[in-house]
Chains A and B, each alone.
Chain A
Amino acid sequence: MNLPEAVIDVRGLCKRFGDKTVVDGFSLQVAKGEIHGFLGPNGSGKTTTIRMLCGLLTPDAGEGRCLGHDVLRESDAIKREVGYMTQRFSLWDDLSIEENLHFVGRMFGLAGRRRRVDQALDELGLGGRRRQLAGTLSGGWKQRLALASCLLHEPRLLLLDEPTAGVDPKARRDFWEEIHRLSAAGITVLVSTHYMDEAERCHRLSYLAYGRLLTTGSGADIVAAQGLSTWAVSGDGVERLTEALRQLPAVEQVASFGRQLHVSGRDAERLQAALEGFVDAHQLRLAAARPSLEDVFMHLMRSARDPLEP
């Protein structure tokens, strides 16, 4: 039994709202202790998928297990062992920090609740403000409180839905250090995000668009699999030449990174030839670049077709 234990193992999950298919044939395996990044544009089905994994939504089709429990029939057992952090702050604004934690503790029937809440407050550094109403906390503190509350019952799996949206860089950094510490302790984490630096911190990534899983793998694998060549074009007035660059043969994508433009395509030789001519004509600089995750994801997104559009 050397195989890593799969904490999430689902196949063909589908979810429809009315006649709109929000998640279509989603399959994923996540190993114990893995930090799995969940990426994709807004409306790609990330939240719906996470909700199906923790039993808040019933899949219309598909099967699988989460922590060894059937996702269709054993959502109660799953709920007890999963910590779910919602996209929007969903603790009670009109309860104090301490009262929120005690409530969540009671919901999970924690033994030694008082001690665990005190411990959580100490770890949060909120011991002195325990009586402050949760609604009056700043965004960063709300996020830390939400994380603490979903860790209270010592879950084996954390499902985090855009946990760092609207949080300042320092708080984000602290947050990710905590995630890695938890992962090292054997807790599996599935985290959705729009930030590429956060994606880089994940062990493996999944990219969704229009309800379909486009690719899964480590960041490096995903970049390599797309076979993209990328060049960085820079120089005065380069921003105004974006449209002209897009018209060049073999150019599939132009994206700005700071004051540079990343120009990507799969036909490396033709792309290089076209760019060298263009750069000379416009007195710009050209440098080979390693395609970033963002280049690759934008490329994936572009090649995925929206099933709602003809």
Chain B
Amino acid sequence: MTRFSLSRWLGILIKEFIQLRRDRLTFGMIVGIPILQLLLFGFAINADPKHLPTAVVMAEPGPAARAFVAAMENSGYFDVRGRVSEDQAAQALARGEVQFVVSFPPGFQRDLVRGRPVAIAVEADATDPLATGGAVAVLNQLGGELFARDLPGRRVDARAPVELHVLRRYNPEGITAYNIVPGLLGVILTLTMVLMTGLAMTRERERGTFENLLATPATPFEVITGKLVPYVLIGLVQVILVLLAARWVFDVPMLGSIPLLFGVVLIFIVANLVLGITFSSIARNQLQAMQMTFFFFLPSMLLSGFMFPFQGMPEWAQALGSLLPLTHFLVLVRGILLKASGAALLWPSIWPILLFTVVVLAVGLRTFRRTLD
């Protein structure tokens, strides 16, 4: 057997370092991924989300109700987005724009002062049980404390008869699978669609067949869209599999329109495919395309509201998350399956995906090289 040779071993080591240094993108990823992801996710992710957007329905404003709202804000868990009508509140909850709707009944102030039992209704979007848990616990405490302290001298004793009716909407039992399984649909599609098309063009380039393709009169639009269609079908097969499992294995409710669901799924698939093919025309080889995919996939997982409550993230992280198609797709798929939301209601989450697709496609067509220059 040949003995271990230090100089041979060093030779291999040095060669590897040189090659790593030459591959700029890989080098950037080695440094960039940890720093960026650490900063991004270290600050953005919060398992006990605070500052949850809350709508207030107040039939008759009064000092007691206002004091309660102020106390909610002071707790740090609620961000009151103003007073709205009952209809507006219901719509905002369905769209996922607010996490809570707090309603004070008519005559709240009067009844309270007269010592009659009063009730505050709290509707929570419990699609994601994680997002509401902490806040609801705080709310329960608030009710008792507040009125004991803030209404001294009135005919209100320490055990104020304020009841809090918490209604967990959409997922009353707080079953995590109801939230995760529809979300997984988006995550699976993001990874497979971007990755598969990401490799589509770089594979041609690596094998040398791209030169042959370029020598034909095929246009960039023909090549890009022609390569997409087979993957749309693959994506639809995946969707059907996940939905069947969701229905029969996880018992996820499917309250909304299934054709609408497939409509938004199609839009989402195309958005991811277009992104993949754009990566593909930017990357020089398959490895780079793969790296780009993961660079996109990680924030999609973590900042979209899939793993952690979206509303619980700081605003800058939410702004970043809003750029990702998955963020909007999660609202759509959960909205359709769990809330039975319709197309008109969901439009605010549909157009961002369409816009994303158009912008990325434009970039892809621009960067697609028709020559070998």
> A residues within 8 Å of B by Cβ?
51, 54-58, 75-76, 79-80, 82, 84, 86, 88-93, 104, 107-109
Contact = CB atoms under 8 A, between A and B. Distances in A.
Contacts of A75: 371
Contacts, number: 47
A236 B216 CA distance: 56
B194 to A, nearest CB: 22
Contacts of B373: 57-58
Nearest to A94: B207
Interface in B195-242: 207-218
Interface string B105-136: 00000000000000000000000000000000
Interface residues of B, number: 15
A113 to B, nearest CB: 14
B371 A58 contact: yes
Contact of A79 (B207, B208, B210, B217): B217
A90 B212 contact: yes
B208 A86 contact: yes
9 closest pairs, A vs B, by CB? A107-B216, A90-B212, A84-B215, A90-B208, A88-B208, A79-B217, A56-B372, A90-B209, A86-B211
Given A54-B215, A56-B215, A79-B217, 16 more contacts: A55-B371, A56-B371, A57-B371, A57-B372, A75-B371, A76-B217, A79-B215, A84-B215, A86-B208, A86-B212, A88-B208, A90-B207, A92-B207, A107-B216, A107-B217, A108-B217
Contacts of B213: 107
B219 to A, nearest CB: 8
Given A86-B208, A88-B208, A108 B371 contact: no
Nearest to A91: B212
Contacts of A104: 212, 216
B208 A56 contact: no
A270 B373 CA distance: 50
Contacts of B215: 54, 56, 79, 82, 84, 86
Nearest to B204: A92
Contacts of B209: 90-92
Given A57-B373, A58-B371, A79 B211 contact: no
Contacts of B212: 86, 90-91, 104
Contact of B372 (A51, A107, A109): A51
A56 B217 contact: no
Contact of A107 (B208, B211, B218, B371): B218
A107 B217 CA distance: 7
Contacts of A82: 215
Contact of B216 (A57, A79, A88): A79
Contacts of B218: 107
Contacts of A88: 208
A104 B214 CA distance: 11
9 contacts: A56-B214, A56-B372, A57-B373, A79-B215, A79-B216, A84-B215, A90-B210, A92-B209, A107-B217
B207 A93 contact: yes
B218 to A, nearest CB: 5
A107 B213 CA distance: 8
A51 B216 CA distance: 13
A68 B213 CA distance: 23
Nearest to A54: B215
A86 B372 CA distance: 13
Contact of B211 (A80, A90, A92): A90
Q: Most chain-B Cβ atoms within 10 A of its Cβ — which of A55, A107, A109?
A: A107
Contacts of A107: 213, 216-218
A35 to B, nearest CB: 21
B284 to A, nearest CB: 15
A75 B216 CA distance: 10
